[in-house]
Chains A and B, each alone.
Chain A
Amino acid sequence: MSTYILTMRRSNRGPGQEDKALEDIVLDRRRAMDRFLSGVEKRAYRIAVIAVRDADDALDIVQDAMIRLVRSYARRAESEWTPLFYRILQNRIRDHQRHQSVRRRVLAWFSSATDDGTNDFDPIAQAPDPVAVQPDHQLALDEAMLALERAIQALPARQQQAFLLRTVECLNVAATAKAMGCTDGSVKTHYSRAVHSLRATVGEYWEGSNYDE
């Protein structure tokens, strides 16, 4: 027969004081989560947009990742939130890409002429309009960004993930490995290959000091 021991000790605080203490704990945790999410949301959105090529889908993915982080990992230490959040984000992006792949195959099977929206993605329209930039420089920058995003989209998934996490979010190798669910060595390999591939494809757009800010 298994036995269990339950020990309960009544504190000297009144019920109202205990409720207040609990509320303070919860409020602090909520504020911390709010600060964290507001700090990562914009970069996470850019990563998602580049990966899935659709602004609305990217927003849904980011929101879903936020909800999952809050529901499952809010009690974890704050230092763990970044790799956890991007792990969730990458999983959602991968799920979306798989669904899109299946959808494209189904549409191709039925020889549908429906536009699935991928051609509607306009990186130039999505790109920001920097203030106080000369028109010719702006044009060159837009072209360079467009070429860069297309080249990133063409990368194999793991190389794309490693490159975006390291360059956009500036995660170190260890944090990137946690986010990707792989070893440090794998991250270095994927990242190195991505950089070499991108330099070979769009390196000429980025030579010189025109884009140093």
Chain B
Amino acid sequence: MTNETDPSQRDDEEFTQRVGQQLRNSADELDAATLSRLNRARQVALETMDHSVADTKRGFQWLPVGTTALLAVIAIAWWQGRVPEQTGEMIIADETIEIELLFDEGDLAMYAELEFFAWLFEDELENIG
């Protein structure tokens, strides 16, 4: 078995290296107007990222409000003795408050949104913690 490169394959590689280099050179030497438009396109794309983040932050801001409202509803229902399908128990520790709530499918829509924000928020903070 020969270790030499097939001449045809070698010629192919030389050809693709030459044309590839010239094509990349032409990309690096775009005119100023085109570069400016590309820069603007990039900024527009990054702005959509900023909007997405702003929406997420607004969701986070509502998280404690929504949770508080939820707790109030449960507390009232429990107080009035009407908890046929809902149960709750609250454990208070020195530094943390853990709340376990069991819901039926009727609260699925609201729960799904709260669960997502809680997971996302905890995940991000633990990553930087």
Query: Which chain A residues have a beta carbon within 8 Å of chain B's beta carbons?
Result: 1-13, 18-19, 21-22, 24-26, 29-30, 33-34, 37-38, 41-43, 45-46, 55, 59, 62-63, 66-67, 69-71, 74, 127-130, 141, 144-145, 148, 164, 166-168, 170, 195-196, 198-199, 203, 206, 211-213
Contact = CB atoms under 8 A, between A and B. Distances in A.
A2 to B, nearest CB: 5
Contact of A59 (B12, B20, B38, B49): B38
8 contacts: A4-B108, A6-B101, A45-B34, A45-B38, A127-B26, A166-B16, A198-B15, A198-B19
Given A6-B99, A21-B125, A26 B53 contact: yes
Given A21-B128, A34-B46, A62 B26 contact: no
B95 interface: yes
A71 B25 CA distance: 30
Given A4-B111, A67-B48, A130 B29 contact: yes
Nearest to A25: B124
Interface in B32-82: 34-35, 37-39, 41-42, 44-46, 48-50, 52-53, 57, 60, 67
A174 to B, nearest CB: 18
Contacts of A33: 46, 49
Interface of B is mostly: helix
Given A38-B42, A59-B34, A59-B37, A199 B98 contact: no
Contacts of B39: 38
B27 interface: yes
Contact of A206 (B19, B49, B50): B19
A133 B96 CA distance: 71
Nearest to B103: A4
Contacts of B37: 59
B1 interface: no
B39 to A, nearest CB: 8
A37 B11 contact: no
Given A25-B124, A42-B30, A46-B26, A5 B20 contact: no
B27 A2 contact: no
B50 to A, nearest CB: 7
B18 A168 contact: no
Contact of A128 (B12, B31, B99, B103): B31
Nearest to B101: A6
A167 B105 contact: no
B22 A67 contact: no
B25 A128 contact: yes
Contacts of A45: 27, 30, 34, 38
Given A29-B49, A211-B22, 7 more contacts: A3-B104, A67-B48, A166-B20, A167-B16, A167-B19, A167-B23, A213-B25
B85 A1 contact: yes
